Amino acid sequence: MKIQKYHVDAFTDRLFGGNPACVIPLQKWLPDDILFQITKENNLAETAFFIPIDDGFHIRWFTPEVEMDLCGHASLASAHVIREHLHYKKDIIYFQSASGDLQVSFEGDKYVLDFPSRIPVKAELPQIIKESLNIQPSEVFLSRDYVLLYESEEEISTLKLDENKLKQIDLGHGGIICTAAGTKSDFISRFFTPGASIFEDPVTGSAHCSLIPFWSKKNGKKEQLAFQVSERKGVLYCKDEGERVSIAGQAITYSVGEIFLPNSDQK
């Protein structure tokens, strides 16, 4: 059995920037163990699979370790594949997902993700995370992810986390967001996933489900420019919509290929 595979860099307009994701369109679901094996073979932070349904697509996201409840960059990459490679003609792409109904619209060369808002609340930082940090945050919040607020962009750029120490903690689908006000953007961030094969995620759309309402409340802005300042770097155009957030970004295809699988019954 032969299936198509697309490798897309999301939240960037240049190759080797943003966050890479594999996107695999299917007609019917393969068994979960096969989806995991494909994801591990791809060896990227996320692989997105989708199948067509009546009014759009059912999308699922996998890391080499777990199936995720939400992934922004792989959703953006999927929308790019659907529009640019599968030649989808409608103005909006509708996704059914583990996080409910999602949609992607288009603004010029940008893909606009309509995602749920996840407002973080004040929290205590687990001791193991505190011990892993070379710089302590000024405040700590929690939604799906821990949100660590820092005083400056310089602190974020010099921040180091002890990956080996953090392997002792299980955050489920969550991670650790470190954020501060930006000098050339409204805010910046970095995102870490303890225990994952890729410790620092290059650009994390789902983290901005929390960052957008968090910073909107702090600076009073509904529309904001965000940079994720990993080595690959990413740009996100953000809007607080109340119970929803809009996260826009660009994407570029790195490669298109084929996967050859033994014959397998699809679900």
The residues annotated as belonging to the active site are: 46
Q: Helix (H, G, I), strand (E, B), or coil: what is residue 201?
A: strand
- Which amino acid would we find at residue 206? S
Q: Are strands 244-249 and 67-68 parallel, antiparallel or unpaired?
A: unpaired
Structure tokens at 91: 């103005």
The answer to whether the CB of 30 falls within 8 A of the CB of 39 is no
The answer to whether the CB of 137 falls within 8 A of the CB of 151 is no
Q: Helix (H, G, I), strand (E, B), or coil: what is residue 242?
A: coil
Across the chain, where does the E strand assignment appear? 2-10, 19-25, 47-53, 56-62, 67-68, 93-97, 100-107, 110-116, 121-122, 139-142, 146-149, 176-181, 187-192, 200-201, 223-228, 234-240, 244-249, 251-260
Question: How many Å apart are CA 39 and CA 157, to the nearest integer?
Answer: 30
Q: Are strands 93-97 and 56-62 parallel, antiparallel or unpaired?
A: parallel
Show Cβ contacts of residue 40 under 8 Å, excluding neighbours closer than 6 positions. 64
Exposed/middle/buried for residue 150 (C-beta within 10 Å: 0-12, 13-18, 19+):
buried
Q: Helix (H, G, I), strand (E, B), or coil: what is residue 81?
A: helix
